[in-house]
Amino acid sequence: MTAHHDKNNNNKKQWQLATKVIHAGSGHDDPHGALASPLYQTSTFKFADADQGSARFAGEEAGYIYSRLGNPTTHELETRVAELEGYEAAAAAATGMGAIAACTMVFLRAGDHIVVSDAIYGCSFALFSELFERFGVHADFVDLNDTDALQQSLQDNTRLVFLETPANPHLKLVDIAAVSQVIAGRDIRLIVDNTFMTPLLQQPKQQGADLVVHSATKFLNGHGDVVAGIVCGSAEDIALIKGTTLKDMGATISPHDAWLILRGLKTLDVRMQRHCENAEKVADFLVQHPGVRKVYYPGLADHPHHHLIGTQMKHAGAVIALELEGDEAQARYFLNQLQMIPLAVSLGDAETLIQHPASMTHSPYTPEARQKAGITDTLVRIAVGLEAADDIIADLQQALTASQQRWQQTA
């Protein structure tokens, strides 16, 4: 029996990611033999007797107590994503921001310092620049590709370095390994937001990241019907997060949402293939259109960090940013002309989504911070979906044509 079990474990270690998105963590022991993961839609778990309840609360016996503290469905999701990212464990949260807050606050106290990439999601920026400041934690926002600037920003009380790559919204890349080398040997954790890539396209642990966080709302779920987050790391770090910040903030995921993400993960590999194929075609179209001033997409040869594809990243992903000719009013006019593509924030859904970062996702930035991060008034972000690429391009084409005609008339 033991030899058979060890053989199965060895086989699992050799599984490719396309197999792991379906099978990893699916060791549920359903008495009825259900193929699909059971949904444990329960708030609490009953104990066999008072001694068992006491033992579980004391940590002397493994088992479930209350779904805020752990749930079998949630545990299966955590195990699967941890295996995909190559970490020992994971903690699922009610939102991506819940995961980010939990995995940063747990290592910080008043008087500490953190270094953050100068281009990140707007709510992450607000968390670090405003809320953390109120509690005595200072954040410096630095171009992390400038290793000298990173080195100079580090202080004796620096506890974390946080980055996104590709960065939201204009796809700036950060060399994770280079950042890891700068902070090596210091008591500093490196946290990477891997939402845009998913573990199928990028595994930050291989480049030296201590923790990896996802907005599971996006590609991991893939269907626009869940808000969730997840953080992966060592068993020790994840146990600390689960036992303190995540538990006490109450930002844990609901079992039903965990179940929906488990279902969505099964198609992650095939979805990412289509997302990426479509994005390449859309990017090629956009770079040739006269109404587009600039396209930001790591898959283009002129992207400043295109060389990271094939080393840090397997593909450029499915998010594209572009700057339009004109001004903010022109950008808004363009967005209003779209007929198929919804004007909506988020990404990773089956639908192609488009939004205006300066007035939407990155509105928490000050004008100065937006300028520093390169988020202009004409910047538009496209999350390329799963529709036929020709139909996506046709909708962009007609909206760009109408927008360009308007600009020529008003210029």
- Please identify every residue annotated as catalytic: 68, 121, 193, 218
Give me the pLDDT at residue 5, please. Answer: 42
Give me the pLDDT at residue 4, please. Answer: 39
Buried (b) or exposed (e) across 231-252, using 16+ Cβ within 10 A?
Answer: bbbeeebbebbbeebbbeeebb
pLDDT confidence of 130, banded at 50, 70, 90? very high
Give me the pLDDT at residue 408, please. Answer: 76
Q: Is the predicted pLDDT of residue 85 greater than 80, yes or no?
A: yes
- Positive or negative, the CA dihedral 216, 218, 221, 226 is positive
DSSP state of 207: G
Give me the pLDDT at residue 283, please. Answer: 98
Report the alpha-carbon distance of residue 82 to residue 231 in Å, rounded.
8
Report the alpha-carbon distance of residue 303 to residue 281 in Å, rounded.
16
Report the alpha-carbon distance of residue 144 to residue 152 in Å, rounded.
11
More confident residue, 365 or 333: 333
| Among the ranges given (61-65, 157-161, 355-359, 363-367), the one the predictor scored with the smallest mean pLDDT | 363-367
Give me the pLDDT at residue 10, please. Answer: 54
Q: Is the predicted pLDDT of residue 360 greater than 50, yes or no?
A: yes
Give me the pLDDT at residue 9, please. Answer: 54
CB contact set of 42 (below 8 Å; sequence gap of 6+): 67, 71, 255
* Cα dihedral 63, 69, 73, 75 in deg (nearest 10): -80
Cβ atoms of 274 and 293 within 8 Å: the answer is: no
Cβ atoms of 229 and 100 within 8 Å: the answer is: yes
Specify the pTM: 0.93
The pair phi, psi for residue 303, each rounded to 5°, is -65, 135
Query: How many Cα atoms sit within 13 Å of 45 on the Cβ side?
Result: 18
Give me the pLDDT at residue 388, please. Answer: 98
pLDDT in tens, 387-410: 999 999 999 999 999 888 877 777
pLDDT confidence of 364, banded at 50, 70, 90? confident
What are the DSSP calls for 365-406, one per residue?
A: S-HHHHHHHT--TTEEEEE--SS-HHHHHHHHHHHHHHHHHH
Give me the pLDDT at residue 219, please. Answer: 98
Cα 161 from chain centroid? 16
Report the alpha-carbon distance of residue 255 to residue 260 in Å, rounded.
9
Highest averaged pLDDT of the listed ranges 317-321, 361-365, 377-381 = 317-321
Mean pLDDT of 354-369: 87
Mean pLDDT of 53-73: 93
Share of the chain above pLDDT 70, in %: 96
Provide the mean pLDDT of the chain: 93
End-to-end CA distance of the chain: 78
Q: Is the predicted pLDDT of residue 62 greater than 70, yes or no?
A: yes
Three-state helix/strand/coil letters over 110-160 = CCCEEEEECCCCHHHHHHHHHHHHHCCCEEEEECCCCHHHHHHHCCCCEEE
- Helices 328-337 and 389-410: crossing angle in degrees, nearest 10, is 140
Q: Is the predicted pLDDT of residue 163 greater than 90, yes or no?
A: yes
pLDDT in tens, 178-222: 999 999 999 999 999 999 999 999 999 999 999 999 999 999 999
Q: Is the predicted pLDDT of residue 28 greater than 80, yes or no?
A: no
Highest averaged pLDDT of the listed ranges 25-34, 153-162, 399-408 = 153-162
